[in-house]
Chain A
């Protein structure tokens, strides 16, 4: 593979590239550090070009790669100009980090380091340390505000290397169509607790010492995670309690008393953490503008706010009602009525703290606990409350049984994707009764084609459900920079090594965002087109499939008692059109369809 990349450089030199050349690639052809395209994204005819034209609707981003290519080591400067001020178009530039993957012995770009529009460095990049590197890649985001007049706008980017100038024209065609602020599918990014922030941000945590977890920088850092994902049309979930019921002090109000005297003693840490998220001010300086965060885990678990010591006795109900009632009042008085507060049980009995599984329940006698918590929540929250409490469960083994047993109890379902895939009737039933339905899974590795991340956004929309959870989005591994496992559990990275005291986005996150905004726009056309027609055409363009191909046949194991099932039971695998045969350009074909529809908008 390295040979092919080097060949690309040789060919470019033969085609007239000088010592410093600036080239472009569309977003779905990710560059390698030698002037070529990464193996996963290569397709016939794809190659860096001397210009690029991007098309986009208003209130959305368009993106591309810029490649600074130098056949000889040396200094360079990159200057990305600006669009005419009247256009309102705004440019964000990032340096792409080339991660080394020992498993495949090659490099893939993913982490995006924010840089200024005028940038100076050298090749090979002294920080990235890629031997014989001849190309530095940059990710260019262009934000098209909702008020931009439709039309074509241009800027020039210039590379200066060894005193020679290389420029590329960049053209953005702005359509009249407007991407709605509300997404048709929610892309969620999950993590657990905050202890990992200490190791991920030594520049922040070490100087603060013991005071780190109470410092302003700490709360700003948490909010920065919400912000980077919000800005990229995503949601961030951070679970604040452990399997034994230990609640992080920043995830819950401090309680005092026992039994009937149990009450909230102090909201200050909780409000400091969540206030800017619930009123939207944490998102003030984003292109998408300030809006309250959509969803949040509550700290409720079998040990909070009521002590499990009183389970089954009057004190448990009293402690629960006292505190959850206070939460409802506090949220209402603060005006936090646009966020959905999730009562969600993550604990598993295998961690030995409670006798029942809250997460991925498997045993029939665990259901009674869920019914009891629904009863308690109903008692605690006035029926006419404007505060949105929801009861969420993550379900896999017993999805069909839980869907029946917990009808009217759970109203937010996060389903194992493989389980829901053969149960379209369950998805339909849940949606028909008004429940929210997501699926969950891991993120595609960087070594998979660029379109694979879009599949995770498209599938829920094709299925007629509401979202997808990347079950772990912040764990890039012990050394993502030089010894990377591929990023199945990371879509953002710590910015610490780059002097950024905040998470930085990834190429995959940006690709996902661009797909999500396309789906939001596509979904708008259900006002004028049958939605099944829209879905069918998107599926056809994406991977040449029909809608029925997106559901799996019922596997043999599905008819077993859930307790007799194992992870070794083989499901019916999806066809290659969803995997190895899914090319990097798949999403571009959907985008073309969306924009064909959008061009009809005047």
Chain B
């Protein structure tokens, strides 16, 4: 594992150089990284990212406190950091700027999904800015139920490849969105 990571990081200065890829070629590159994500991201660790207390608050509603869920959002720091670092390393495999985001269904409720880890370019074909959780897109449902990788062409020239994340029991517990954009908006989400 450590050897692979060392290779990825050492190769990254070459890999992150900006190139002009066709949409098809970009999708293929993202798929390659997404495939690696399934191998590299530890689903058991992902299950420990959000704290139990935070999960309890996640779907609470209080008409007098619209921020009750977000103010109580919290994570287990080691699990978050370990997974985020893996995602960051994966993103370095992309030949152009890309993000690898972690998405997970809500515990005990398969309908909504939440992005649980985002990364530096703040790209996603699915995330509605600021949402703690949101309705599950069909593409994500497909990944979580079939284990297939799914390519999705999103808004503003984004292409995402979704890949399953497994725990040690072989359950699909999360998915990774590897995403890049045809023309990055350098000012977007600087807020």
Please list the residues of chain A having a beta carbon within 8 angstroms of any beta carbon in chain B.
192-195, 198, 213, 239-249, 251, 258, 303, 307-309, 311-312, 348-353, 355-356, 362-363, 365, 397, 563, 566-568
Q: Which residues of B contact A195 (CB under 8 A)?
A: 185, 187-191
Residue of B nearest to A352 (CB): B118
- Give bound CA distance, A363 to B72, whole Å: 9
Known contacts A244-B118, A246-B122, A258 near B73 by CB under 8 Å: no
Q: Which residues of B contact A566 (CB under 8 A)?
A: 62, 64-65, 68, 71
B115 contacts A by Cβ under 8 Å: yes
- Give bound CA distance, A351 to B185, whole Å: 19
Q: Which of B23-31, B35-43, B80-88, B141-149 contacts its partner? A: B80-88
Q: Which residues of A contact B121 (CB under 8 A)?
A: 244, 246
- A566-B68, A567-B71 given; 8 more Cβ-contact pairs under 8 Å: A192-B191, A194-B187, A241-B190, A243-B122, A246-B120, A248-B186, A312-B81, A567-B68
B134 contacts A by Cβ under 8 Å: no
- Among A241, A251, A311, A350, max chain B CB count under 10 A is at A350
Residues of chain B in range 128-186 having any CB-CB distance to chain A below 8 Å: 130, 132, 185-186
Known contacts A193-B190, A195-B188, A244-B120, A309 near B85 by CB under 8 Å: yes
Residue of A nearest to B183 (CB): A210
Residue of A nearest to B79 (CB): A355
- Give bound CA distance, A119 to B99, whole Å: 55
| Contact yes or no, B190 A240, CB < 8 A | yes
Min CB distance A316 to B, Å, is: 11
Min CB distance A232 to B, Å, is: 24
B32 contacts A by Cβ under 8 Å: no
- Give bound CA distance, A239 to B130, whole Å: 17
Min CB distance A195 to B, Å, is: 4
| Contact yes or no, B191 A193, CB < 8 A | yes
| Contact yes or no, B13 A258, CB < 8 A | yes
User: 0/1 per residue, B1-37, Cβ < 8 Å to A?
Assistant: 0000000010011000000000000000000000000
B45 contacts A by Cβ under 8 Å: no
Q: Which residues of A contact B47 (CB under 8 A)?
A: none
Min CB distance B57 to A, Å, is: 10
Q: Which residues of B contact A246 (CB under 8 A)?
A: 120-122, 189-190
Q: Which residues of A contact B88 (CB under 8 A)?
A: 307-309
B55 contacts A by Cβ under 8 Å: no
Q: Which residues of A contact B70 (CB under 8 A)?
A: 348, 350
| Contact yes or no, B130 A351, CB < 8 A | yes
- Give bound CA distance, A193 to B74, whole Å: 26
User: 0/1 per residue, B89-112, Cβ < 8 Å to A?
Assistant: 100000000000000000000000
| Contact yes or no, A248 B190, CB < 8 A | yes
Closest 9 CB pairs of A and B: A568-B64, A193-B190, A192-B191, A355-B80, A195-B187, A567-B65, A350-B70, A568-B65, A350-B73
- Give bound CA distance, A313 to B186, whole Å: 29
Q: Which residues of B contact A198 (CB under 8 A)?
A: 187
- Give bound CA distance, A245 to B71, whole Å: 20
Residue of B nearest to A192 (CB): B191
Min CB distance B102 to A, Å, is: 8
Min CB distance B64 to A, Å, is: 4
Interface size, B (range): 35 or more
Q: Which residues of A contact B132 (CB under 8 A)?
A: 350
- Give bound CA distance, A239 to B187, whole Å: 12
| Contact yes or no, A349 B120, CB < 8 A | no
Q: Which residues of B contact A192 (CB under 8 A)?
A: 190-191
Min CB distance B130 to A, Å, is: 7
Min CB distance B174 to A, Å, is: 13
Residue of A nearest to B69 (CB): A350
- Give bound CA distance, A240 to B89, whole Å: 25
Q: Which residues of A contact B76 (CB under 8 A)?
A: 355
- Give bound CA distance, A374 to B187, whole Å: 28
What would 8 A/B residue contacts be, using CB atoms closer than 8 Å?
A: A242-B189, A244-B189, A258-B12, A308-B85, A349-B74, A351-B118, A351-B130, A352-B116
| Contact yes or no, A352 B115, CB < 8 A | yes
Q: Which residues of A contact B71 (CB under 8 A)?
A: 350, 362, 397, 566-567
- Among B65, B70, B185, B189, max chain A CB count under 10 A is at B189
- Give bound CA distance, A193 to B12, whole Å: 29
- Give bound CA distance, A248 to B186, whole Å: 6
| Contact yes or no, B84 A308, CB < 8 A | yes
- Give bound CA distance, A241 to B114, whole Å: 23
B77 contacts A by Cβ under 8 Å: yes
Residue of A nearest to B53 (CB): A563
Residue of A nearest to B71 (CB): A362
Q: Which residues of A contact B72 (CB under 8 A)?
A: 563
Known contacts A355-B81, A356-B77, A567 near B67 by CB under 8 Å: yes
Q: Which residues of A contact B185 (CB under 8 A)?
A: 195
- Give bound CA distance, A563 to B116, whole Å: 21
Residue of A nearest to B84 (CB): A308
Min CB distance B56 to A, Å, is: 12
Q: Which residues of A contact B119 (CB under 8 A)?
A: 244, 353
Q: Which residues of B contact A349 (CB under 8 A)?
A: 73-75
Min CB distance A310 to B, Å, is: 9
Q: Which residues of A contact B120 (CB under 8 A)?
A: 244-246, 303, 308, 353
Min CB distance A50 to B, Å, is: 49
| Contact yes or no, A194 B77, CB < 8 A | no
Residue of B nearest to A213 (CB): B187
- Give bound CA distance, A397 to B130, whole Å: 20
Residue of A nearest to B114 (CB): A352
- Among B53, B85, B186, B187, max chain A CB count under 10 A is at B187
Min CB distance B101 to A, Å, is: 8
Q: Which residues of B contact A353 (CB under 8 A)?
A: 117-120, 122
Known contacts A349-B75, A365-B77, A567-B71, A242 near B186 by CB under 8 Å: no
Residue of A nearest to B187 (CB): A195
| Contact yes or no, B84 A193, CB < 8 A | no
- Give bound CA distance, A578 to B125, whole Å: 47
Q: Which residues of B contact A351 (CB under 8 A)?
A: 118, 130
- Give bound CA distance, A353 to B72, whole Å: 16
- Give bound CA distance, A348 to B73, whole Å: 9
Known contacts A258-B13, A356-B77, A242 near B190 by CB under 8 Å: yes
- Give bound CA distance, A365 to B9, whole Å: 30
Residue of B nearest to A346 (CB): B191
Q: Which residues of B contact A251 (CB under 8 A)?
A: 190
Q: Which of B13, B74, B81, B191 contacts A242 (CB 8 A)?
A: B191
